[in-house]
Amino acid sequence: MNNAVSQNGSSRPRVAVVTGGSGGIGGAVARRLAADGMAVVVHYAGRVAKAEAIVESVTAAGGTAVALPGDVAEPTEMTRLFDAVEERFGGVDVVVNTAGIMLLAPLAEMELEAFDRMHRVNVRGTFVVSQLAARRLRPGGALINFSTSVTRLQQPDYGGYAATKGAVEAMTLILARELRGQDVTVNAVAPGPTATPLFVEGKSEELIARIAAAAPLERLGTPEDIAEGVSFLAGPAGRWINGQVLFSNGGIA
């Protein structure tokens, strides 16, 4: 069965919403799901130019995509986005929550304002979007949230960030059980070090090389590596995977 066909066998195209679709991983996910035949909504918060560039790359490859704005932590704005998607495409089949921020500091030194910012986007934002997904995903649908392999690595400076992603995992695994009978899967992807502009920024070549060498495969992940895992969970081959955290990290954890 092609991913473009709904899981219940109808011929209508499947529709995916990718929050944080203007980012490195989000953009790769949007392109990959579009390549699977889905109509893709590239969500953005402030980077409209990058979101529109993703849309242009999808449409240039023969796919269907549209960019829509919204603050993931604001229910009114995300409800408006879901309403717009349903009006334009008829419904939603896949929701991928890549939107998130990472601020690093030792726990004893982290400003509470920085922790609150991460909590607002990573935890509240995931909660808001997951709640809408739980209410609106069509049968055969999939919700894919984003955690991090740092929840298992216990690296210094990552305490505040890992705490927000631990909350994401807890919500994800419980929601999978709460949606019994709705034919909707709920999983999380937990990337390891991934070569995005955000990851590379501020790091020396020596540090990047050391981080890359930590994985048995001796390289950083790419956004496309992460997108492949999302494609699997969103598609027909992943229908029996539910209530799980997929560690996409090359064996680093």
Per the residue annotation, which of 44, 82, 146, 161 is the catalytic one?
161
CB 133 within 8 A of CB 95: yes
Report CA 35 to chain centroid distance, whole Å.
Answer: 17
Q: Is the dihedral of CA 53, 195, 226, 142 positive or negative?
A: negative
In this structure, what DSSP letter does residue 14 have? P
Q: Is the dihedral of CA 195, 199, 205, 207 positive or negative?
A: negative
| Alpha carbon distance 197, 25 (integer Å) | 10
Count of CB atoms within 10 A of residue 209's CB?
A: 12
Report CA 190 to chain centroid distance, whole Å.
Answer: 10
| Alpha carbon distance 174, 152 (integer Å) | 19
Q: Which residues contact 170 (CB under 8 A, 6 or more apart)?
A: none
| Alpha carbon distance 188, 81 (integer Å) | 22
CB 142 within 8 A of CB 93: yes
Residue 80 host element (H or E): helix 75-89
- One-letter amino acid identity for 202? G
Active site residue 44: no
Count of CB atoms within 10 A of residue 181's CB?
A: 6
| Residues with catalytic function | 161
